[in-house]
């Protein structure tokens, strides 16, 4: 790619570039952690692809090469597949036109704030996503929500591991949880989750923390919802089991492609979990496990 230049500084400041990168989903979290120092305006997740948006003035050959170096550390086959230049527009209007309410099931709708008055549902979660973590648009979020409704026991302590936008934590509160601990190791997710918890009126019930699951000890709990990448799930099972052991509690796992279903079952058995149920949507699976 040639260096991008412009004779018009004002035009340059109002132009953006979307960098489309092919990358296996299990590497997203590690790559995102290393991208935090870049001056980008947003990240969108797709299936085995991420899209990073920059102001054009903040993206050049050096930035491109640094991104390639980072993604290839984890996925040698990862590459930049497209660089798309966009002129500035009314992004709020564009966002509102494209982000629509998502019906998870007959009980739950996840909706942006500007659509909330159009929705009639038993449960309604208001989400203003800054990035595409846990908006309900992804199958794994919907799968965990369905399991949560099915096994609901009000008055229990929930943990939402890898909370993203806070959807699962908010749903636990809506279902009657006595307390929820929600955590993530991504600062953008933490800020977005705090905002969404406040919008839904659960700041007194949901605690949001910036935690790396590999470096923490979780408190005793009754339920854990873990919508995580494959590379974190099985290594984290001893941590989950220790938290759930006393209550013989329940672990709901997703973020997993159905092709890795057996890997999770084997990891669960090795870590003293009993498999209760698995549910599927497209190529994704969510599992309900119970601590022995």
Q: Give the CATH number, domain containing residue 215.
A: 3.40.50.150
Instruction: Please check whether residues 39 and 179 belong to one and the same domain.
Output: no
Instruction: Please check whether residues 200 and 282 belong to one and the same domain.
Output: yes
Q: Higher model confidence: residue 112 or residue 95? A: 112
Give the helix, strand, coil percentages of the chain, each rounded to 5: 40, 30, 35
| Mean of pLDDT over the chain | 86
Domain annotation covers residue 1: no
Domain annotation covers residue 2: no
Give residue-wise pLDDT tens across range 154-211. 999 999 999 988 999 999 999 999 999 999 987 778 888 999 999 999 999 999 999 8
pLDDT of residue 6: 33
284 phi and psi, to 5 degrees? -110, 155
* Domains identified in the chain, total number: 2
16-20, 134-138, 239-243: which range is least confident on average? 134-138
Domain annotation covers residue 235: yes
Domain annotation covers residue 149: yes
> How confident is the model over 52-63, as a mean pLDDT?
90
Last residue of a domain, one of 88, 121, 138: 88
Last residue of a domain, one of 35, 55, 88: 88
Mention every residue, 6+ apart, whose C-beta is less than 8 A from residue 43. Answer: 32, 35, 50, 51, 52, 53, 131, 132
Range of the domain at 200: 99-291
Last residue of a domain, one of 62, 88, 114: 88
> How confident is the model over 60-64, as a mean pLDDT?
93
Instruction: Please check whether residues 118 and 40 belong to one and the same domain.
Output: no
Instruction: Please check whether residues 118 and 247 belong to one and the same domain.
Output: yes
DSSP letters for 234-262: HHHHHHHHHHHTTTT-EEEEEEEEGGGHH
Instruction: Please check whether residues 135 and 270 belong to one and the same domain.
Output: yes
Instruction: Please check whether residues 64 and 104 belong to one and the same domain.
Output: no
Residue 233 to residue 85: CA distance in whole angstroms? 37
Q: Higher model confidence: residue 235 or residue 33? A: 235
- Whether 149 shows a pLDDT value over 90: the answer reads yes
> How confident is the model over 33-46, as a mean pLDDT?
82
Q: Give the CATH number, domain containing residue 47.
A: 3.30.70.980
Domain annotation covers residue 52: yes
| Cut 0.85: pTM above it | no
Instruction: Please check whether residues 60 and 120 belong to one and the same domain.
Output: no
Instruction: Please check whether residues 266 and 150 belong to one and the same domain.
Output: yes
Instruction: Please check whether residues 148 and 230 belong to one and the same domain.
Output: yes
Give residue-wise pLDDT tens across range 120-142. 888 999 887 665 455 666 788 89
pLDDT of residue 144: 95
Domain annotation covers residue 94: no
Residue 193 to residue 64: CA distance in whole angstroms? 30
Instruction: Please check whether residues 67 and 103 belong to one and the same domain.
Output: no
Please, which pLDDT band fits residue 238 given cuts at 50, 70 and 90? very high
Domain annotation covers residue 164: yes
pLDDT of residue 264: 94
Domain annotation covers residue 257: yes
> Based on the number of CB atoms within 10 Å of its own CB, is 122 exposed (0-12), middle (13-18) or buried (19 or more)?
exposed
Instruction: Please check whether residues 41 and 176 belong to one and the same domain.
Output: no
Instruction: Please check whether residues 75 and 111 belong to one and the same domain.
Output: no
- Whether 219 shows a pLDDT value over 60: the answer reads yes
- Whether 214 shows a pLDDT value over 60: the answer reads yes
């Amino acid at each position: 790619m040639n260096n991008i230049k412009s004779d018009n500084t004002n035009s340059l400041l109002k132009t953006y570039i979307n960098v489309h990168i092919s990358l296996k989903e299990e590497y997203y979290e590690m790559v995102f952690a290393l991208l935090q120092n870049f001056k980008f305006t947003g990240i969108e997740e797709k299936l085995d692809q991420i899209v990073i948006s920059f102001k054009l003035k903040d993206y050049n050959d050096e930035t491109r090469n640094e991104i390639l170096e980072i993604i290839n550390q984890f996925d040698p086959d990862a590459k930049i597949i497209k660089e798309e230049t966009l002129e500035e527009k009314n992004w709020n209007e564009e966002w509102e036109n494209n982000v629509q309410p998502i019906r998870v099931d007959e009980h739950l709708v996840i909706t942006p704030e500007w659509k909330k008055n159009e929705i009639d549902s038993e449960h309604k979660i208001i989400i203003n996503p800054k990035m595409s973590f846990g908006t309900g648009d992804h199958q794994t979020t919907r799968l965990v929500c369905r399991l949560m409704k099915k096994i609901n026991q009000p008055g229990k302590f929930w943990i939402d591991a890898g909370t993203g936008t806070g959807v699962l934590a908010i749903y636990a509160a809506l279902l009657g949880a006595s307390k929820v601990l929600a955590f993530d190791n991504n600062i953008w997710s933490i800020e977005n989750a705090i905002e969404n918890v406040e919008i839904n009126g659960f700041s007194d019930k949901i605690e949001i923390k910036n935690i790396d699951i590999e470096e923490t000890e979780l408190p005793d709990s009754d339920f854990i919802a873990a919508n995580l990448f494959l590379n974190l799930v099985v290594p984290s099972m001893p941590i989950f089991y220790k938290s759930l052991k006393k209550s013989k509690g329940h672990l709901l796992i997703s973020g997993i492609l159905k092709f890795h279903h057996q890997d999770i079952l084997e990891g669960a058995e090795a870590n003293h979990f009993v498999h209760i149920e698995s549910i599927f949507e497209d190529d994704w699976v969510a599992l309900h496990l119970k601590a022995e």
